[in-house]
Chain A
Amino acid sequence: MSARINILFKRIISPLAYAVLLGASAPLLAADAAPAVTQPSALPAKAALNAALLTGSTFTPPDPSTIPHDEFGKAVQLGRNIMFETQKYAPQYVGNSLNCVNCHTDGGAMAGSAPLWGAWVSYPAYRAKNKKVNTYEDRLQGCFRFSMNGKAPPLGSDVLVALQAYSYWLAKGLPVDEKVAGRGYPNIPEPAQAPDFVRGKAVYEANCAICHAANGAGRVVNNEVVFPPLWGAQSFNWGAGMSSISNAAKFIFANMPYGQSYSLTPQQAWDVAYYMDGQDRPQDPRYEGSVAATRAKYHDNKNSLYGTTVNGVLLGDTGEPIPFKGNKS
């Protein structure tokens, strides 16, 4: 029965859902919900099925069970393994406790969660971040350096070859076009009120802390990270895309709380993104000798809180980046 409701939801209701969601009322999404709940603490989340919903994506990447059993397939499988278990398959390039899948749902297969297939058909591309035309390999290197607070794998290394093989395999059948639906994280409207730390903290405590912990450090069980850290020493660094409030707001709106896509209002997503990105994290590896100089060169925009004082803390004031050592596998 529930499966049928969901199909109905996808086919008929979803075109309407966008308008309703953005109107921040969302009663329609209750189509995904069961009978009314009496306990206020037990309100079912009015969540969309997954992050793809509001992207308009119609592309379905191939199923992992169809990865070929040959030399090429081995590289594809390694790429997939790196996405899901970066700590295990590429530890020499990783400096925090994250895995690529943490920000690329379903190992880079999910529309609306920066899917690798959307990226594969979009490079080479000019990026304002480093003011040059970047190849796909350059882009992958950036994720290791910033999101994984690690070290860029050399061009042509096994790790980058495997990630490219996997991306190519996922993208088969897509036309080359950087505007492909489902790429990146879906846009959300500008917030009605300026994003706010105090409101963000309340959103965080009600919707996120159960998994990511009140101190943002995530949770570790039997020496494995279950819920990834959102800030602090083991999270992404100040150069990462996720440290931009607008990227974070988009990601969170479409993907968090986990399994409850689009259940926050856009305003809540902006507020909680501000709260998360208003906390300290590893130094920007492009550090220019002082917080002020680094802000001036790389962070001088309203989406970065680096080098500003939030909640009494001058963010980024942690000195030189700690030299990279790499994780043990």
Chain B
Amino acid sequence: MRQMPLQTIRLMTGVCLLAGISSIAQAAPPPEAASCAACHGAQGDGLPAANYPRLAGLPAHYIAEQLKYFADGTRQNAIMAGMAKPLTPAQITILADYYAGLPVAMPAPAASVAPILLSRGQQLAEFGDWKAGIPACFRCHAAGGVGVPPYFPPIAGQSAKYLADQITAWQTGTRKGDPQGLMHSVALRMTEADTQAVTAYLAAIKPAAAVLGDSQPLSTGGVK
């Protein structure tokens, strides 16, 4: 582990004790997050059983965009519209940065899904179904569905129902704002069975952090 200045450690320990949360070193939740925690959990892990998505570790840019879309109706959701409308741009930034900074510490959800469904889901996630025009999820959301900040959110370990609801929302047009209509195009090509299989598979993956790397990582060949 990297070394931290002593007073930072002291400060964080104090905050953690005060907040009564675990010993994971992280910033105190901003007051704005109080109303989020009820559904998305104190650690931003979401509540898969009730279809509330994880926010921890999502790209800040993505979270901020979604809050704006909830507020202006680009993404239609009654609960979230009520939450997002009163937020100022500054509050949106605070919340987005806070949740983006939380560790991805969620355990793998216990999957109780038919293996045949999972294997079709895995097929779609890794290779897609090009005959039907469906690219592999992981070509854009990275191997393991960890996401590609700042535009492509993680999809691994989100609740199956939540993910399936999003596919439906893109199909019916109640969710918009996806860059270049990328998800809209894909969703229109998915059958109900595709959606079931792939969301079951994605929900069963243990989520992990996405670390952006140097885009030129290998040192062979090349221009000056």
**Alpha-carbon separation in the docked complex, A266 to B200 (Å):** 39
Number of residue pairs across A and B with beta carbons under 8 Å? 178
Q: Would A106 and B188 count as touching, CB distance under 8 A?
A: no
> How far does the alpha carbon of A257 sit from the alpha carbon of B182 in the complex, in Å?
9
Contact B184 A326 (CB under 8 A): no
- Nearest B-chain residue to A50, judged by Cβ: B133
A261 CA / B220 CA spacing, docked (Å): 33
Residue of A nearest to B215 (CB): A217
Residue A213 CB within 8 A of the other chain: yes
What's the least CB distance linking B218 to chain A, in Å?
6
- Tell me whether A222 and B146 are in contact (CB under 8 A): yes
Task: Report Cα–Cα, A220/B185, bound state, in Å.
Answer: 24
Q: Please determine whether B215 and A327 come into contact, CB atoms closer than 8 angstroms.
A: no
B125 to chain A, nearest CB (A): 14
The verdict on A260 contacting chain B, using a C-beta distance below 8 Å, is yes
Check if B140 is an interface residue, CB within 8 A of chain A. Answer: yes
Q: What bracket does the count of chain A residues touching chain B fall in?
A: 35 or more
A267 proximal to B (CB < 8 A): no
Q: Which of the segments B79-87, B88-96, B172-180 contacts the partner chain?
A: B172-180
Partner of B222, one of A105, A226, A232: A232
Residue in chain A with minimal CB distance to B188? A2
Interface of B is mostly: loop
User: Chain B nearest CB: distance from A108 CB in Å?
Assistant: 11
Query: Which B-chain residue is minimally distant from A53 (CB atoms)?
Result: B133
Other-chain contact of A96, B144, B208, B218 (Cβ < 8 Å): B218
Q: Complex formed: what's the CA distance from A45 to B219 in Å?
A: 37
Tell which of B139, B180, B224 touches A260, judged by Cβ atoms closer than 8 Å.
B180
Among the listed B133, B135, B148, which residue makes an inter-chain contact with A227, where contact means beta carbons less than 8 Å apart?
Answer: B148
Partner of B221, one of A96, A221, A227: A96
- Whether B135 pairs with A32 at a CB distance below 8 angstroms is no
Asked if B42 is at the interface (CB within 8 A of a chain A CB), the reply is no
Chain A contact residues, majority secondary structure: loop
Q: A232-B216, A322-B221 are in contact. Are A45 and B182 (CB under 8 A)?
A: yes
A37, chain B: closest CB distance, angstroms = 6
What sequence of 0s and 1s flags, for each residue 184-224 of chain B, a beta carbon within 8 Å of any chain A beta carbon? 11111111000000000000000010111111111111111
From B132, B211, B214, B223, give the contact of A3 (CB < 8 A).
B132
- Enumerate A90-106 residues with CB–CB distance to B below 8 Å: 95-97, 105-106
Chain B nearest Cβ from A77, distance in angstroms: 13
C-alpha spacing A163/B117, complex, angstroms: 31
Give Cα A3 to B188, complex, Å.
7
- State whether B216 touches A224 (Cβ < 8 A): no
Q: Does A15 contact B (CB under 8 A)?
A: no
B135, A259: Cβ atoms under 8 Å?
yes
Q: List 28 A-B contacts (CB under 8 A).
A: A3-B132, A5-B188, A6-B189, A32-B188, A34-B171, A41-B177, A45-B181, A49-B132, A49-B133, A97-B216, A110-B130, A210-B180, A215-B215, A220-B212, A221-B143, A221-B148, A225-B215, A225-B217, A226-B140, A233-B221, A234-B222, A237-B221, A257-B180, A259-B135, A260-B180, A280-B223, A322-B220, A325-B220
Which B positions have Cβ atoms within 8 angstroms of A?
74, 127-128, 130-133, 135, 139-140, 142-144, 146-148, 151, 170-173, 176-182, 184-191, 208, 210-224
* 7 A-B pairs closest in CB distance: A233-B222, A49-B133, A217-B215, A220-B213, A42-B176, A44-B181, A95-B221
**A-side interface residues toward B, CB under 8 Å?**
1-3, 5-6, 32-35, 37, 39, 41-45, 47-50, 60, 64, 84, 95-97, 105-107, 109-110, 149-150, 207, 210-211, 213, 215, 217-227, 229, 232-234, 237, 257-261, 280-283, 318-319, 321-322, 324-327
